[in-house]
Amino acid sequence: MASRDTGRIVVGLVIFLVLASFPVWFSATQGRSDYRPELEYPAGETKCVESKEYMRTWHMDLLNQWRDSVVRKGVRTYTSDAHHTDYDMSLQNTCMKCHTNKANFCDRCHDYVGVSPKCWECHVEPRGAE
């Protein structure tokens, strides 16, 4: 024998379920749930400063390390562990030389994962981005 306020409880439950299933119907309405960012790799380039896995996980730390080295210690060249070539420690002048399109490379992954780094408030995207 249902009680008087079953209605109100069901409404409460429905509200809870709607809230709990927010990601499901939100992504469904956006229609991008199977979207995975394919990054536009620079044409003609095969190797980056370090290995692909290392860069995917540690690029922010590497950049931090470059910053401290350049700004604080004045050391501007970085020898890569992977293949021992030297690079100029600069986001804009080194990274951005190959990855000319920030939108199709950096931002795709960052937006996908909901990260909004503050670096781009100062550092300049390469002109290729326009």
Partner 1 sequence: MEKDRRDFLKLAGSVLGLGATAPAAALASTGGRPVQEEGTHWAMVVDTRKCQAKEGCTACTDACHLAHNVPKIPEEAHEVKWIWKEKYPQAFPNQVHPYIEDSLRDRNVPVLCNHCERPPCVRVCPTQATFKDEQGIVTIDMHRCIGCRYCIAACPYGSRSFNWKDPRPYLQDIQSDYPTRTKGVVEKCNFCEERLAKGQIPACVEACVTAECGALLFGDLSDPESEVSRLLRTTNTIRRKPNLGTAPSVFYIV
Partner 2 sequence: MTAILALGAILILILLAGFGSQVAGLQVVFGVAVPYAAIALFLGGLVFKVMSWARTPVPFRIPTTCGQQKTLDWIPSARFDNPHTTLGVIGRMALEVLFFRSLFRNTKVDIRPGGRIIHTPAKWLWAAALAFHYSFLVIFIRHLRFFTEPVPGFVKAIQSVDSFFEIGVPSIFLTSFLLLGALGFLLLRRLVSPQLRYISLANDYFPLFLLIAIGTTGVLMRHFQKTDIETIKAVAMGILSFSPVTAGGGALFTIHFFLVCVLFAVFPYSKLMHMAGVFMSPTRNMANTNRAKRHINPWNHPVAFRTYEEYEDDFRDKMKAAGIPVEKE
20 lies in the site for partner 2, by CB under 8 A = yes
Nearer to partner 2, 16 or 92 (CB): 16
115 lies in the site for partner 2, by CB under 8 A = yes
**Nearest-angstrom CA–CA distance, 20 and 86:** 51
Paired strand residues for 79: 86
79 lies in the site for partner 1, by CB under 8 A = no
59 lies in the site for partner 1, by CB under 8 A = no
Q: Which does 85 bind (CB under 5 to 8 A by kind): partner 1, partner 2, none?
A: none
Which residue in 21, 27, 64, 79 binds partner 1 (CB under 8 A)?
64
Binding letters toward partner 2, positions 64-93, x by CB under 8 A: x-----------------------------
Provide the CB-side half-sphere exposure for 93 (13 A, CA). 7
Catalogue the E-assigned strands of the chain: 77-79, 86-88
Hey, what are 60's tokens?
């922010």
Nearer to partner 1, 11 or 124 (CB): 124
Instruction: List, in order, residues 6 or more apart from 83 with CB less than 8 Å away.
Output: 47
Closest by CA to 96, choosing from 81, 86, 106, is: 106
125 lies in the site for partner 1, by CB under 8 A = yes
Instruction: For the CB of residue 114, give the shortest distance to partner 2 in the complex, in Å.
Output: 3
